[in-house]
Chains A and B, each alone.
Chain A
Amino acid sequence: MTTTTVSPRALRRARRRQSFARSWAAYRSQRTGMIGLVLLGAIVVLALAAPILIDESALSVTRATGERMAPPSAAYPLGTDETGRSILALTLWGSRLSLVIGLTATVVAIVIGTTVGVTSGHIGGWYGWIALRLSDWFMVLPSLVVAIALLAVLGRSMATTITVIALVSWPGTTRLVRAQTLTVQSRPYLERAKALGAGHWHQMTKHLLPNVLPLVLASATLLVPSAILMESSLAWLGLGDPSVVSWGSILNRASENGAVSAHAWWYLLPPGLAILVVVLAFMMCGRALEAVFNPRLRGGS
């Protein structure tokens, strides 16, 4: 009998593929998760295709061709805003900014949260204690109040919006990652690694991080919708970047220009429904992912 020797790398890759296939099968069995995924795919395609579908000049106030605040018509399927721009064009283009801000802020928050979570769980001591206290403190503060206060003094731009949303979003991930790190830490294979002389860096990157990543993915998917909601609230309050169009900023203009008292439902519905659908799609995916990856849920049913 010939034993085929498999290189460790190939073994690792095969294992990863296997566990990915297992997770995917578990995910696929959840109907809401699949609906969310399809919705999300459609939205991302629409956002990416925006420049092909409608030219960017449709966003220009000075080159607007429509009537002011006109109800839907053949030329403007979703009506126009107070300067005569097509609401359809605004909503389509707005998706790009809302998604970019939501995703970027989440990535920043996840990177901070995971780093602080793994290091504080692994290193512990004074550093771990301070990190835990600080994330607890951030968690208790009302996020919108902190975000408004910071934006009010930092000024309005895309970068500040992203920074501020990330700053109020990281503690949840930290707590989750820290708890998972502490669990993994006590397992025998980590002791083995330590006995073989693995340093902190090796333990954290080769053993702890791969173990917490699936949970991080699930929590990230649930962070995106709250980041998008936060961005839209801030933009609606007038704290968004004034030079770009997002769903929140469209609704900000709508309320500033009396769309509600003008009964301009076509001005209010598209951007709001867009936010709702995107948030819902992310939540459906995130909840399905969490059900796949969270060990506490997996064992139950």
Chain B
Amino acid sequence: MTERSLPVDGASVEAPSTGRGRASSGFGRYLFKHVSGAAVSLLLVLFSSFFIFRLIAGDPIDQLTKERPVSAEQRAAMRAEMGLDRPLWQQFWDYITGTLTMDLGESFQYRRPIFDLIVERLPATLLLSGTGMVLAVLLGFWIGTRSGWKQGSRFDKGHVATGLVLYSAPTFWLGMIVILVFARYLGLFPVNGMRSPSTPPDFWSQAVDIGHHLVLPVLTYTAVVYAGYLMIMRSSILDELGSDYLTTARAKGLRDDEVRQRHAVPNALLPTVTLVFLALGSVVNGSIVTETVFSWPGLGTLFVNSIFYPDRPVLQALFVLFSSSTILAVLCAEILYWFIDPRIRRS
């Protein structure tokens, strides 16, 4: 499904298509198959970004010079400077080689190389979405395990209901409410941004300040995302519930907690590992919106701010970056699967 999808009760969690292994498929072959697939996907991203931003979008000069009197010579000079006077295939070739060598062009609004902008803002994005994602996965898996284990209990019903409600809340709206309550009314946390200008420059003061700013965005982000992991883990546990090995474990006289943690959880985790990677698309979606609500100085805010300028080179570069990072994450998941699921190796 698109942005979000939740598995339903008892729906076993499907692993992504890890390929129907052939008789003699070794790791090399498996690796080659998935790496080449990812390479084609990445190439498709480059093609489509060129298609969207250069062909559908029309002449960038028109947009840049909107409502300004520009002579024909000036336009021609601008075109030459941006390489727009050259044949399309050559522009495409320049674009591909440029992207591959990290030469992403210059931003219209900041007049700086886009690569520098990305490097500057990447840590903020990684900090927010990394913290949020780790928290969401831990919380979701922890609750999901207990929910599924005691299916139909009060704990289960309460947590599934809470998760569903938070899951249904639009991220940006939840962010606004969180700001209103915790920053405006209660004054516990800063309203937006990543650091206050008045903080002393030493490391610890800065770290504490950033941590203070981080609380509300992470809270918002985790609240919306964790329910997905909760449901994934819950249905994965439900799949394991009737298994013979659990009966064996119980017959050995293990306590219920031990049966759950030592036997059920490791098996239930297997299919969820890939789902965590596959959910990276929604991680990107969520962090774009969260960053925008909290004016967090990351890539998501940069992306949104570039829409209305319009700063097309930045949009294009970030489109490629966001898309290719999800493709690479899925590739990682597929490679990881080889090591954690012996069934692929045997087939």
Contact = CB atoms under 8 A, between A and B. Distances in A.
Interface of A: 133, 136-137, 140-146, 148-150, 152-154, 168-169, 172, 219, 222-223, 225-227, 229-230, 232-233, 236-239, 248, 251, 254-255, 260-261, 263, 265, 268-269, 271-272, 275-277, 279-280, 283-284, 287, 290-291, 294, 296-297, 300-301
B180 A265 contact: yes
Contacts of B58: 153
Interface string B171-203: 111101101100011000001000000000000
B307 A144 contact: no
A103 B33 CA distance: 39
A280 B171 contact: no
B5 interface: yes
16 contacts: A133-B40, A141-B45, A142-B280, A142-B326, A145-B284, A148-B315, A229-B168, A248-B170, A251-B173, A255-B293, A261-B184, A265-B180, A271-B173, A283-B6, A287-B9, A297-B9
A291 to B, nearest CB: 6
Contacts of B179: 260
B10 interface: yes
B3 A143 contact: yes
A68 B315 CA distance: 36
A168 B9 CA distance: 26
Given A142-B326, A152-B315, A233-B171, A169 B2 contact: yes
Interface stretch (B49-57, B86-94, B133-141, B209-217): B49-57
B2 A223 contact: yes
A280 B163 CA distance: 11
A263 B8 contact: no
B170 A291 contact: no
Contact of B2 (A133, A148, A230, A237): A230
Given A152-B315, A260-B176, A236 B170 contact: yes
A283 B176 contact: no
A149 B1 contact: no
Contact of B57 (A140, A153, A225): A153
B323 interface: yes
B323 A145 contact: yes
B11 interface: yes
B332 to A, nearest CB: 12
A149 B319 contact: yes
Interface string B54-75: 0011100000000000000000
A255 B176 contact: yes
A268 B172 contact: no
A254 B293 CA distance: 12
A198 to B, nearest CB: 29
Given A137-B44, A260-B184, A145 B5 contact: no
Contacts of A152: 307, 310, 315
B303 interface: yes
B331 to A, nearest CB: 10
Given A144-B285, A272-B170, A290-B8, A226 B1 contact: yes
A239 B308 CA distance: 9
Contacts of B322: 142, 145
B225 interface: no
B130 interface: no
Contact of B5 (A148, A222, A251): A222
Contacts of A248: 170
B173 A275 contact: yes
Nearest to A153: B57
Contacts of B319: 145-146, 149
A279 B168 contact: yes
Nearest to A251: B173
Contacts of A255: 176, 293
B11 A144 contact: no
A222 B167 CA distance: 13
A153 B56 contact: yes
Given A232-B170, A233-B171, A276-B169, 19 more contacts: A133-B40, A145-B322, A168-B3, A172-B2, A222-B6, A227-B2, A229-B170, A238-B308, A251-B172, A254-B176, A255-B176, A268-B173, A272-B174, A275-B169, A279-B168, A280-B164, A283-B168, A297-B11, A300-B10
B46 interface: no
A233 B289 contact: yes
B263 interface: no
Contacts of B293: 255
B1 A290 contact: no
B184 A263 contact: yes
B56 A154 contact: yes
Nearest to B56: A153
Nearest to A109: B2
